Amino acid sequence: MSKVLLFTAFLLLSVTWVVAQDSSTAVSQNSQSGMSSGSETSIEGCLNGSAGNFTLINSTGITYQLIGASDDLAKHVNQQVQVRGTQSAAAAPSSASPTSSSGAPGPSSSSAASRPTFNVSKVSKISDTCSTSNK
């Protein structure tokens, strides 16, 4: 009887150890993937907008909806800037909008929903005016 009890205790201890190893590996993998998706980056372009509705158009014509750092963004409207922060993957479009080069006088409200969103943490001025390639 004592051999059965000893074997059961050994088996229970072994199973507990294996489960503990699997749990710590899963936690480690989740924390590493979370860090890579939120890594900070920067983009450059012409800053437009006002009062919490800021956009940045980069040199390739992609328009980003900017959120955060509203006070810093307001100081640099109509200037060439570099913004640091993180891009929201959920709001990023699958491709650039073909209507952006149609010569329309301004962005339409329906296209704002398809813009990639960029969470700004820092704004740096590059030039007092926007370059002509970004307008």
Q: Which domain holds residue 15?
A: 1-37
Are 33 and 94 in the same domain? no
Digit-by-digit pLDDT tens for the chain (135 residues) are: 888 888 887 777 777 766 666 554 444 443 333 333 568 899 999 999 988 789 999 989 999 999 888 888 988 999 999 999 998 864 444 444 444 444 444 444 445 567 889 899 999 999 999 876 544
Question: Could you tell me if 24 and 82 lie in one domain?
Answer: no
Q: Write out 18-43 in H/E/C secondary structure.
A: HHHHHHHHHHHHHHHHHHHHCCCEEE
The number of distinct structural domains making up the chain is 2
Q: Answer yes or no: do 25 and 51 share one domain.
A: no
Torsion of CA 101, 102, 105, 108, to 10 degrees: -90
Count Cα neighbours of 97 within 13 Å in the Cβ-side half-sphere.
Answer: 21
Same domain, 13 and 45: no
What pTM was computed for the model?
Answer: 0.54
CA 66/CA 123 separation, integer angstroms = 11
